[in-house]
C-alpha cells in the first residue's frame, strides 16, 4: 500500500505549495496537502493563532481522509510543530498507521527563537522582521492588494509559531527524521538534532544543500529522501 505523505505548511503558505509534489512523487507517495483556514480557498475563514486549536480543528476531516492509511507526516518550520502535535493525536487514533515524522527547518519543540515578530504593530516593521527571521519573503508581498490580503494570515501564523508550547514532553513512539539546509542561518545543526529527544524510536538528522527555505527548489531530492525512510 502506498504511504500517504501529509504535508503541513510553513508560515504564510497554503496547500498549493505542495500540490506540484504529487507529480514529482508519482506512485511512490500519495501527497496529502493540509489546508489551514485564512488562505487560498479558505481565505474567508479566520486563521488559527494557536497550534493546539489548529490541530483540533484539522483532525476530524483528516482522520476521515486517512482511515486505513499508512502515513508519513511532513512539516517545515511552523509545519514541523503542527506535525509534531498531529503525530501525538494520530498515534492515539485507530485506523491510522503512522510510519514516520519528518520535520524540516525547525528546532525541537519548545525551543524559542530569540528574534520574534509577534506584536510588531507596524506592517513594514513586521514584514522586515519576518524576512530577517526566515531569510525569505514571498513575491506576492510586493503587490499592495495581495499584501493586504496575506498579512492577517501571516501575522496569525507567526503568532501561532512563536507562542507554541508542546502539549506533552512524552516522546513519540514513531521514528523521526529532521532535515536542515546546511546553510540555514535560522536553525543550527544542534537545534535540529534536538528532535532526537522527542522520539523513543529511531532518529536521523539529514543536512541538505541550501538555506532555511531549501525546499522551495529541492522538492525532488526531498521526496526521494522521504520515500527512502519508509521503504
State pLDDT tens for residues 176-210: 999 999 999 889 999 999 999 999 999 999 999 99
Non-local CB neighbours of 49 within 8 Å, separated by 6+ positions: 156, 159, 160, 163
Domain ranges of the chain: 3-229
C-alpha cell at 66: 486517512
Q: Is the pLDDT of residue 120 over 90?
A: no
**Average pLDDT of the segment spanning 113-119:** 76
CATH code for the part of the protein at 3-229: 3.40.50.1820
Q: Which residue has the cell 532555511?
A: 212
Q: How far apart are CA 94 and CA 171, in angstroms?
A: 19
Helix/strand/coil for 212? coil
Contact 101, 83 (CB under 8 A): yes
Q: How far apart are CA 146 and CA 139, in angstroms?
A: 10
Amino acid at each position: 500500500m502506498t504511504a500517504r505523505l501529509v504535508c503541513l505548511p510553513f508560515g504564510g503558505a497554503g496547500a498549493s505549495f505542495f500540490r506540484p509534489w504529487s507529480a514529482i512523487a508519482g506512485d511512490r507517495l500519495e501527497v496529502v496537502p493540509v489546508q489551514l483556514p485564512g488562505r487560498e480557498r479558505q481565505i474567508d475563514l479566520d486563521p488559527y493563532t494557536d497550534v493546539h486549536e489548529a490541530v483540533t480543528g484539522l483532525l476530524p476531516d483528516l482522520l476521515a481522509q486517512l482511515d486505513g492509511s499508512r502515513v508519513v507526516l511532513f512539516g517545515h518550520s511552523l509545519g514541523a510543530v503542527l506535525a509534531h502535535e498531529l503525530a501525538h493525536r494520530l498515534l492515539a487514533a485507530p485506523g491510522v498507521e503512522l510510519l514516520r515524522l519528518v520535520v524540516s527547518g525547525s528546532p525541537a519543540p519548545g525551543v524559542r527563537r530569540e528574534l520574534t515578530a509577534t506584536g510588531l504593530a507596524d506592517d513594514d516593521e513586521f514584514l522586515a522582521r519576518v524576512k530577517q527571521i526566515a531569510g525569505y519573503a514571498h513575491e506576492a508581498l510586493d503587490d499592495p492588494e495581495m499584501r493586504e490580503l496575506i498579512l492577517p494570515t501571516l501575522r496569525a501564523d507567526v503568532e501561532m509559531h512563536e507562542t507554541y508550547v508542546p502539549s506533552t514532553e512524552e516522546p513519540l513512539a514513531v521514528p523521526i527524521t529532521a532535515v536542515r539546509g546546511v546553510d540555514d542561518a535560522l536553525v543550527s545543526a544542534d537545534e535540529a538534532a534536538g528532535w532526537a529527544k522527542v522520539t523513543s524510536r529511531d532518529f536521523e538528522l539529514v543536512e541538505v544543500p541550501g538555506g532555511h527555505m531549501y525546499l522551495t527548489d529541492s522538492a525532488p531530492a526531498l521526496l526521494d529522501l522521504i520515500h527512502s525512510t519508509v521503504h
